[in-house]
Amino acid sequence: SLDRFPLGEKRLMDVKLGELGSWLGKRDFTPNGVLASIRNGHDRYYNKYINVKKGGIGGVAMLLVGYVALSYMWEYDHLSEYRLWEYDDLRVPTTYSIIHLKAL
Amino acid sequence: MGTLNSTLKFYMPVLTIVPTIKSACLPRLVQLSHLHTSPNSQAPVPALPEKGGKTRHGIIPEEIFQLLYPKTGVTGPYMLGAGLLTYILSKEIYIINHETFAAACMGTVIIYGVRKFGPDVAAFADKLNEEKVQKAQEVKDLAMTSLAQAVLDEKKEQWRAEGRQMLFDAKRNNVAMLLETNRRERVHMVTNEVKKRLDYQIALQTLHRRMEQEHMVNWVEKNVVTSITPQQEKTSIAKCITDLKVLAKVQQAKATVAI
């Protein structure tokens, strides 16, 4: 039923799977467009979870959880040295073991 | 929590500085048709929503559960979470190290704290917000009452201004009275002056007549006195004496007859 509308103006959830590539091509990736999308996303999150009369913990908690997850991803390369086992090899890695883990 | 509103608003001014700088640099010509119109819409500001978006366990938005409900029922997202957790742990995408224990301890304390003190903190924040709203409402009510009073006063002034006509009538009467008194004063003055002049003329004429009369009388007397010659004077005096003697005799005779 949304076939009559041009592709570039549909929202992501309304785009069919096969049209995804062309839809991405039509999006605005200029710096102004990127800033506009960032601002839009911020406004949507802010107005839904924070700019309310009785906000719950979810508004801040989700931001903090996202921050934790993001910082874990940035540190993954460093943390991967403390792996307890390699994936396709059930041996304990020879460089480090549980006993020799550095106490940070 | 409402108190975070103010802290998160700290970067709102950044977004608003750019348009204000732009409008301050360019001079704007105001067309006559644009006076008394503002770009702000006249619609009332929509009220804030009561509650924010719902989250399950504080960190997962409710939309995920609603998304998966038709296909997997109520336990779907929990199964998804458990499966994801197992996958992440087994493939060591999440590595269990000493920080895991620290995170677990901190998580426990945080969850316990939020569960225990959450409602109190929320009530406190709500109270603060309530006070702010109440202050703003007081200001608004005060402004409304003062403006309503101003409207009433203005209507009263308009009613007063309708009495202008009576004022003008009174003033007109005053002016007419002044003019009338002035006219009468002048009429009096004119009559007095005319009367004075006429009286003067009358006095002048009577004076003339009197003087002529007296002058004529004096002249006649003088002439008569001078015309009386001494001889005439003697004969008239002798005649008077004889007349007087006769009269005396008559009188004496009358007197003796009476006795």
Query: Tell me, what's the pLDDT at B221?
Result: 93
pLDDT tens figures, B161-190: 888 888 999 999 999 999 999 999 999 999
Structural domain includes residue B60: yes
Q: Is the pLDDT of residue B75 over 70?
A: yes
Nearest CA in chain B to A87: B91
Which of A32, A43, A54, A98 to mutate to probe the B interface, most B CBs <10 Å?
A54
Q: So what's the ipTM on this one?
A: 0.70
Structural domain includes residue B58: yes
Number of structural domains found in chain B: 1
* Residue type at A92 in one-letter notation: V
Which of B12, B62, B95, B116 to mutate to probe the A interface, most A CBs <10 Å?
B95
Comparing CB atoms, the residue among A39, A46, A79 nearest residue B95 is A79
Helix axes B62-72, B76-90, angle to 10 degrees: 100
Structural domain includes residue B11: yes
Structural domain includes residue B69: yes
Q: Per mean pLDDT, which range of A1-5, B110-114, B183-187 is the poorest?
A: A1-5
Q: What percent of chain A has pLDDT over 90?
A: 30
Paired sense of beta strands B60-61 and B55-56, if any: antiparallel
Answer whether A56 sits within 8 Å of B55, measured CB to CB.
yes
Structural domain range at position B61: 1-38+51-95
Q: Please check whether residue B51 touches A, CB under 8 A.
A: yes
Name the DSSP class of A92: P
Tell me the whole-structure pTM to 2 decimals.
0.55
pLDDT tens figures, A33-83: 999 999 999 999 998 888 888 888 888 999 999 999 999 999 998 888 887
Structural domain includes residue B74: yes
Q: Is the pLDDT of residue A90 over 70?
A: no
Q: Per mean pLDDT, which range of B9-23, B66-80, B155-169, B221-235 is the poorest?
A: B9-23
Structural domain includes residue B194: no
Structural domain includes residue B189: no
Structural domain includes residue B179: no
d(CA B171, CA B161): 16
